[in-house]
Each structure stands twice: as structure tokens, then as C-alpha cells.
Structure 1
Amino acid sequence: MAERSVLVTGGSGGLGGAVVASFVEAGWRVVVPQRGALPGSEPAADALVRVAADLTDPAGAARAVEAAAGEPAAPLRAVVNLVGGYASGGLVHETPVEEFERMLTLNLRPTYLATQAALPHLVAGGGAVVCVSARAAVAPFPGAAGYVTAKAAVLAFANAVAVEYRSRGVRCNTVLPSVIDTPANRAAQPTADHSRWVTPAEIAPVIRFLASADSAPTSGATVPVYGRA
């Protein structure tokens, strides 16, 4: 039986599968929220729990956290925020505000709501929050102002959590990937040098380390996971 739980948002995505597998392998109870109906054919497993929840909605985020914190034998000790998405377009004067705000809703709002709902549980027993930003947050490129701003906001939010909760036994750190080698990214950039991209299997152990007691002295860190890109 697992003795600790982790909430992994975005656990069904390209990076999420590797992160979930890494935590399960390390003996964690992993709770993965996802939108829509849950797969009826997936076998039940004590180590992996899926819950239907819309993390852009406060009630959905609260439901996901309650599922993660609801096993007394495996209290919630970590939150990993992977939910996000990318969209490119024109320059700022060519980008509708609706598209700009969509990037904030997709990348920042779930991270805020899941973390906010989980913090009382983490304060009660100690733990860690890990957020995923992007290299674009510190090295912007043209044509994606909404994405760049949203990922920078995730980084700023994580740093705020680190400062506010350090004295309460909760750590918060952020990883910054470059382009992640996923099927979706390969399809979007078929002519790129994929060998230079960072793989989900390379990022997952870094995230697990930051969520674990092995990184106890570390909070407020910004960790580049660029691969060779």
C-alpha cells in the first residue's frame, strides 16, 4: 500500500504519462483528474486513481483535491501541475484578447485552483508543489505573447507560493522545459531536429525529485530541463 498521495494534473497528456508512471514506480498513490467521462475499461489499481474534474472550475479543482486527500493511509504530500497548452499566432497587435486570455485560462487557472485547494492539506502535513512553466517564460520568442505571458505567470505564481508557505512546511519549485518530445509536438514540427528535444522520461524524475523529501532544502527553484535544445 502507498503511504503518500500525489495529485498530478494533466496526467493524461504527453508529459503526464511519464510523470504518473514515475510516481507509481516509486510507490506513490497517484490521483489524476481529467475532463469528461472516465474510461470504463481501465482496470482498477490502488496506486492510480482517476477522477472526473474540470480544473478550470473551482468546484472541480476542489473535487480533485478531495480525491487525492481522501485516503487516510496515504495523505496528500504533493501536487504536480502539468495542465497547459500552446497556441501561436501573430504579434501582440494582431492577437485578439480572447486568444490571449485563453492561454491564461489554460495554463495558469488550473495551476492556481489546484494549488489553492491543496494547500490546506499540505500545510497540515507538509509537502511540495511542482509547477511546469516553459523556457519561453525566461526566453520569449515572437508570435506567442499569450503563451509566453501565461508561462511567466505560472513561474511568478510558484515563486509566490514558495515565499508564502516556506515557514509552513510547504515547498514550491518550477521546471522549465524546452520543446518536449511528444507525438503532438512532432506532428506540429515534422522537420525539426527531434533528437535535441527533451523527452518526458527525462523530465519525470526531476519532477518526482522536487516533489519528494529528497529535495527538502529546496524551495523557490527554477529548474531548466532543456535537453539539447
Structure 2
Amino acid sequence: MRTGIVYGGNGALGSAILKHLKSEGWTTISVDAQKSPLATHSVELDISAGLKEQGKSVLDKLRANIDDAYDVDAIICAAGGWAGGNAGSESLFDSVEAMYKQSVYSSVVASHVASKKLKNDDKGLLVLVGAAPAVGPTPGMIGYGVAKAAVHHLAKSMADTPSSGLPEHAKVVALLPVTLDTPGNRTAMPTADTTTWTPLADVAEQIVSWCKVGLSVPSGSLVKVATKNGKTSFTVV
């Protein structure tokens, strides 16, 4: 039986990925602040802890659920968030700190776990989530943009194996959604045109497909996720 770790398993995207993995018969482990009812096992994370403490705690707890002699097939970091504001905003420093904790901390910890527990073959896959807008300037959402750009850089760096610490034959990819169709986005943007928002099931299906048959794009790719006329495309940028 194949095993996948989903970092941020209680979020909208993480939950969708867990559901899809479960439907394919995978053993799943959720890493989040609370247990996931969808996962086979859950690792509870203290999100108030510093980066070093989070990394050590997550790895220690995962080792309690996974035999040291056994490596996992996929590690998917679906954690993240959004915050607006430019460099003059009163909330600038808070938003940058929050975005780094939600997107960069989680991606760094997931990458560290991958260096220790991901299978060393061409189907061993680390998935990070960036953002399509962060490929260019994000003047109205500085914290979000710099955090997601850091995730993009991390994905490219992790692909340089084994120098990056990732197992030599494992792969990494970063998904860059334009807008995901999540409950949070619908609440925040009630009048938006949701026909161009990407269904979570489409993202989950693509990730699981890569996990099953291998990555179909070069390792380290940044893959834009966009939806138009009900069809979702995955394009290397």
C-alpha cells in the first residue's frame, strides 16, 4: 500500500487531496493543527512554535507513525493562506510574518521531511504550492507575493538532487494556482466570477496522477493551474 503525507490536511485543498488519496487506497498522514477525520493517521502541529521546533516535532511524530525502514511515496504541502496590503500598510509586518509562517515554514518543513522520508525513486514526489500571481509583481499583496516567490525558489532548489538533500531520484514540483475554488475564497469574494476558479478536485486528481504514474514535467517545474470554460490546464511557466 502506498503512503502519502499531506501537510495542511485540514485545509480545503489538503482535505480534497486526502479524499482523493483515500479513494485510491492510499495510507494517508495529515499534518495540521488538529486531527483530520479524513486521514489514516494525524500529526498535530503546534503552529505557535518556531520553525526549528515545528520541524523537529513533525519529524519525530511522523517517525512514530512510520517505521524508520519505510519511506513514503509522496509528501504534499497544501498549507497556505492569503493576505493583502502594500508596503505602506499598517498591517505589513504582520501580514508578511503570517504569510511566511503559513507558506514558507510549512514548505521548508515538508522539504526537510522529504529529505528524510521520501522514497528514492522516480515516483517519490514532493509537491509544494506557490501562486501564479507571484511569478510577477504583487504590489497590493506584498506578504503573499514574497512568501509564494520563496516557495517557487525552494521548489527549484530542491530539484537539484542530491545536493538539495532530496533523495537523488525523487522529484519535486510546485503548483501555481490562479484562484482555487475554496469556501474561504467564496466568502471573501462573494461577487466574483467563479467560472475561472479551479475546482479543488481537479488539483487533487492531477497530484494523485503524478504520484501514481510519475511526474510528467521536469523536476523543479513551476506549473500554472488555470481554469477556463470548465477546463483546467496545468502549464509549465
Is TM more than 0.5 here?
yes
Q: Which amino acid aligns with 2:3?
A: S
Contact 1:173 1:221 in 2 (8 A): yes
What is the correspondence of 1:205-224 to structure 2 with a 5 Å cutoff?
A: 205-215=205-215, 218-224=218-224
Counterpart of 1:194?
194
Question: In angstroms, what is the RMSD of aligned CA positions?
Answer: 2.6
1:121-175 CA-partner distances (Å, limit 9, x unpaired): 2265661101111112214433111101101100110110011337711111111
Query: Secondary structure of the equivalent of 1:19?
Result: helix
Counterpart of 2:62?
65
The structure 1 residue matched to 2:117, chosen from 121, 144, 147, is 121
Contact 1:5 1:30 in 2 (8 A): yes
Q: 2 CA distance for matches of 1:116 and 1:104?
A: 16
Q: 2 CA distance for matches of 1:217 and 1:186?
A: 31
Counterpart of 1:85?
81
TM-score (norm 2): 0.82
Say whether residues 1:104 and 2:104 are aligned partners: no
Contact 1:158 1:173 in 2 (8 A): yes
Q: Which amino acid aligns with 2:160?
A: V
Q: Which amino acid aligns with 2:29?
A: V
Query: Secondary structure of the equivalent of 1:12?
Result: coil
Label 1:88 to 1:64 Cα distance change in 2 as closer, same or farther (>3 A): farther
Give the % identical residues: 28
Q: 2 CA distance for matches of 1:199 and 1:141?
A: 24
Deviation at 1:97, TM superposition (A): 2.5
Query: Secondary structure of the equivalent of 1:92?
Result: coil
Could you list the structure 1 runs, at least 4 aligned residues long, displaced by more than 6 angstroms after superposition. Answer: none
Query: Secondary structure of the equivalent of 1:87?
Result: coil
Query: Secondary structure of the equivalent of 1:32?
Result: strand
Give structure 2 stretches of 5+ with no counterpart: 230-237
Counterpart of 1:156?
153
Q: How many residues align?
A: 219
Label 1:29 to 1:181 Cα distance change in 2 as closer, same or farther (>3 A): same
TM-score (norm 1): 0.84
Counterpart of 1:29?
27
Give structure 1 stretches of 5+ with no counterpart: none
Contact 2:196 2:227 in 1 (8 A): yes
What is the correspondence of 1:144-183 to structure 2 with a 5 Å cutoff?
A: 144-165=141-162, 168-183=168-183
